[in-house]
Amino acid sequence: QVQLEESGGGVVQPGRSLRLSCAASGFTFSSFGMHWVRQPPGKGLEWVAVIWYDGSHEYYADSVKGRFTISRDNSKNTLYLQMETLRAEDTAVYYCVRDVEMTYFDFWGQGTLVTVSS
Amino acid sequence: SYELTQPPSVSVSPGQTASISCSGDRLEDKHVNWYQQMPGQSPVMVIYRDTKRPSGIPERFSASNSGNTATLTITGTQPMDGADYYCQAWHSSSAWVFGGGTKLTVL
């Protein structure tokens, strides 16, 4: 069965960096585009970034463009999100999500909480 | 930027039909997807490509998309259906967009 397991969340001071990882299993990781979607505490879902199945293209939400970098290692079945210059408004649960046809999200990880606070 | 608008809350009695709307400019030209999120859990897709139901999702979940409004319908709502529901679509100006979410209360 499809499994997506995020890690790397925690408490970080404003302006610092953090890298999230998502270990994928149960499917051919290299065949699927992957996204990060976040959810601030008590609020709605916000798409963050996407990477093509082969890593050839990446796109970002305006709110994180220039600060966050999505990447993947298909040999390790792992998705990453490098977050730089973190702000309080980046505080959220970050979900690793599998893409289908660049249209919808069919499987979500359990999420990892990032708290940006001094 | 493209926006999807949902009512913050909807209430329904057990056994009745719940309808949750999602509005956006020319929404019928896009594929709308719906996600259910139980408290403390990750979202689960309940409808994709406007009307399709993934395997394992009960038949009481259905949806439509016409004009500027997509609608998720739960027929014979059960207490276990109480959750937050999010619509989602893709738009060239905003990429993957979510509605603000609707809290469905079954009481």
The total number of residues shown for chain B amounts to 107
CB B35 within 8 A of CB B44: yes
pLDDT tens digit sequence for B55-82: 999 999 999 999 999 999 999 999 999 9
- How many Å separate Cα B52 from the centre of its chain? 12
Confidence of residue B1 (pLDDT cuts 50, 70, 90): confident
pLDDT attached to residue A80: 98
DSSP conformational letter for B52? B
pLDDT (mean) for A33-40: 98
Q: Which residue of B has its CA nearest to A102?
A: B90
Which residue in B44, B48, B86 is closest to A45 by CB distance? B86
Cβ–Cβ gap B42/A108 under 8 Å: yes
Mean pLDDT of chain A: 97
| Percentage above 70 pLDDT, chain B | 100
Q: Does B45 touch chain A (CB under 8 A)?
A: yes
pLDDT (mean) for A7-19: 98
Best residue of A2, A103, A104 to probe chain B, by most B CBs closer than 10 Å: A104
Is the pLDDT confidence value at B99 over 80? Answer: yes
Please state the φ and ψ torsions of residue A92, each to the nearest 5 degrees: -175, 165
Q: Which residue of B has its CA nearest to A43?
A: B100
pLDDT (mean) for A26-40: 98
pLDDT tens digit sequence for B14-50: 999 999 999 999 999 999 999 999 999 999 999 999 9
Q: Look at residues A30, A39, A28, A31 and name the one whose alpha carbon lies nearest to residue A6.
A: A39
Query: Mind telling me how many Å the CA of A39 is from chain B's nearest CA?
Result: 10
Residues of B in contact with A105 (CB under 8 A): 33, 35, 43, 45, 88
Q: Does A100 touch chain B (CB under 8 A)?
A: yes
Give the C-alpha distances (Å, rounded to integers) separating A81 from A17, A38, B79: 11, 12, 37
Any residues with CB less than 8 A from the CB of B52 and at least 6 apart, and which?
A: none
Best residue of A45, A64, A97, A107 to probe chain B, by most B CBs closer than 10 Å: A45
Cβ–Cβ gap B49/A103 under 8 Å: yes
Q: Are strands B9-12 and B102-106 parallel, antiparallel or unpaired?
A: parallel
Q: Does B52 touch chain A (CB under 8 A)?
A: no
DSSP conformational letter for B5? B
